[in-house]
Chain A
Amino acid sequence: MNNVFVYCELEGTTVADVSLELLTKGRKLANQLGCQLEAIAAGSGLEGIEKQIMPYGVDKLHVFDAPRLFPYTSLPHASILINLFKEEQPQICLMGATVIGRDLGPRVSSALTSGLTADCTALEIGSHEDKKAGKTYENLLYQIRPAFGGNIVATIINPEHRPQMATVREGVMKKEILDANYQGEVIHHEVSRYVSDTDYVINVIDRHVEKAKHNLKGASIVVAGGYGMGSKEGFDLLFELAKELHAEVGASRAAVDAGFCDHDRQIGQTGVTVRPKLYIACGISGQIQHIAGMQDAGIIISINSDENAPINAIADYVINGTVEEVIPKMIKYYKQNSK
């Protein structure tokens, strides 16, 4: 009872990276709280699924295996969580801020009247004093996220309602195996006890999933452009530099919104989070949502004609100049000096 739960998202029978990242974080939170870590896997053909999940330090895995549970649809998965949570009374539930997690989380939180915070960038345990009510709460989940277009960072708490629910984007937390032979309990639940036939109302009639076109998330060098790149053609310059450096190209939301670059290359709170050893920010001012997606980069270079651009404050190297002038020089001198 009152444990930390992680909903494991599945594509076929593969657990999503974001879920493994959350299991890693969930394990740490459970240790801090002195409770157990439990996981939920719902899909079909899940024999042996525990091999992917237990090594992250899962004490109890709840498996729901039935033909109609994959592909994901909202109501059957929501019923599983709602009914399981009524029995198990978790104190915390984490899920990916993916299309699935953001479809499922609110439905579950509404049914249980529990609070849910979307797209958290940090999760911590702490206390809270409600001076008005004269009450002190211990061991609350601090759900920390940029808000209001990234102009503020808010710490959200749910003092009274359980579970405390949060979604987190892929790449925000680190994925780390605790022990390849970690021993936990696997419980195979009878799905019909949790999901009624009337929950299967949505039929998936066609589905295309493609492997990502690029490996932005895992790239060791990222060349990212912002609104300051000026145009789609401006981004061609970035692709040229990226090709030389064996880097991937990323973009700020402003550049994506302006149509300079595809949405799947967006870096930041509402895009991909990257941890490259080198991050070259070109014409990016550095809104907090963007910073949230790249601040753990090893070395940050900012190329900006505005010397007061906020990103310069976290950059290791600031190049005061225009991207049109500096990037061709970088390409030129890289070609000259490498080899």
Chain B
Amino acid sequence: MSLKIIVLAKQVPDTRNVGKDAMKEDGTINRAALPAIFNPEDLNALEQALRLKDTHEGTTVTLLTMGPGRAAEIIREGLYRGADGGYLLTDRAFAGADTLATSYALATAIRKIGDYDIIIGGRQAIDGDTAQVGPQVAEKLGLPQITYAEEILNVDEANRRITVKRHIDGGVETVEGPLPIVITVNGSAAPCRPRNAKLVMKYKRALGKQEMAATTPAYADLYEKRPYLNIQEWGVADVEGDLKQCGLSGSPTKVKTIQNIVFQTKESKTLSGSDKDVEDLIVELLANHTIG
């Protein structure tokens, strides 16, 4: 009795800590100036997966991410916290994907992995805030979905059923459905456990193919002796992807224009915090019935 869980995770620019140098003069984003992080809600999803691993013996947790070579960091981060392995989906053909093309690529990779009971990811990524990839992956795989999950309450392996508490507008509900299933996890769910020191020692030299090509690893023979240090990378051909459905060409939505934010300045009065200024303002607002 054991579960096969795939965790969908994304490396995202930390849009919450955007500094002044984040935008270039021409109005495009200076990605190099933004730290790349594990998408926060994907960490909530990873925790739900690891909890099932804690309680269901023999369960395996496999990470799946898509991105450039440096996104192998996401797999390492997952390994440090208790995941069993991971795949980095990386290919120039995947670049420029909107949510639909992203879902297509992830779905082909999930089919290639083949064996799964639960596919779980964050509700949404902080660089897009769309919440679309989870349901779209479910549709592409012909699976049911439970979005906005707060907690997986129970998995009944014998009957292949799962019970989940989820957030809804103005409340909560508990739903129950069959395996396999796609679940997206809300940011209000339990936070992810920290890295495990032993696992950090074990996996700190784990590298993806592109990372290995970019640097000469200090202990080249290590990667033959310890195959778990090789982070698997897949391109379009590895997952038998249809190029027409990948990347920019597989994206129905196009960006027409991008505007840098410029606020319209209107006439404004500047006041100090002095007693007189504050009292004058209150009196003025009372006089014109803005406040009563």
Contact = CB atoms under 8 A, between A and B. Distances in A.
A45 B185 CA distance: 32
Of A110, A221, A316, most buried by chain B (CB within 10 Å of CB) is: A110
A205 B282 contact: no
Contacts of A158: 252-254
B281 A317 contact: yes
A290 to B, nearest CB: 12
A98 interface: yes
17 contacts: A78-B139, A102-B147, A103-B135, A114-B252, A153-B261, A155-B256, A156-B256, A207-B172, A278-B290, A299-B290, A310-B261, A314-B263, A315-B268, A316-B269, A317-B281, A321-B272, A334-B282
B198 interface: no
Interface in B93-148: 98-100, 103, 126-136, 138-140, 144-148
Interface in A276-329: 277-278, 286, 288, 291, 298-299, 301, 303, 307, 310, 312-322, 325-326, 329
Given A316-B267, A329-B275, 12 more contacts: A78-B139, A100-B168, A148-B13, A150-B261, A151-B22, A155-B257, A201-B178, A263-B188, A291-B263, A314-B263, A330-B278, A337-B283
A161 B252 contact: yes
B169 A205 contact: no
Interface in A83-125: 98-100, 102-107, 109-111, 113-119
A149 B168 contact: no
A151 B23 contact: yes
A118 B271 CA distance: 39
B266 to A, nearest CB: 7
A113 B254 CA distance: 14
Nearest to A18: B169
A246 B292 contact: yes
B242 interface: no
A248 B271 CA distance: 24
A288 B262 CA distance: 9
Interface residues of B, number: 79
B98 A202 contact: no
A233 interface: no
A325 B275 CA distance: 10
Contacts of B285: 278, 299
A212 interface: yes
Nearest to A278: B290
Interface in A243-278: 245-246, 257, 263, 269-270, 277-278
A313 B265 contact: yes
Of A103, A270, A314, most buried by chain B (CB within 10 Å of CB) is: A103
A143 B257 CA distance: 11
Of B132, B278, B286, most buried by chain A (CB within 10 Å of CB) is: B278
Nearest to A305: B273
B279 A107 contact: no
Given A98-B169, A148-B29, A151-B18, A319 B277 contact: yes
Contacts of A138: none
A319 to B, nearest CB: 5
Contacts of B171: 207-210
Contact of B15 (A78, A151, A315, A316): A151
Contacts of B282: 330, 333-334, 337
B273 A107 contact: no
A338 B128 CA distance: 46
Contacts of B266: 314, 316
Nearest to A213: B170
Contacts of A263: 188
Given A110-B135, A245-B291, A322-B273, A288 B261 contact: yes
A117 B256 CA distance: 13
B167 interface: yes
Interface in A138-178: 142-143, 147-161
B213 interface: no
B173 interface: yes
A68 interface: no
Given A74-B135, A317-B268, A113 B257 contact: no
Interface in B147-172: 147-148, 163, 167-172
A160 B168 CA distance: 33
Of B13, B16, B132, B251, most buried by chain A (CB within 10 Å of CB) is: B132
Closest 9 CB pairs of A and B: A321-B273, A149-B15, A115-B252, A115-B253, A106-B132, A209-B171, A161-B252, A106-B135, A110-B139
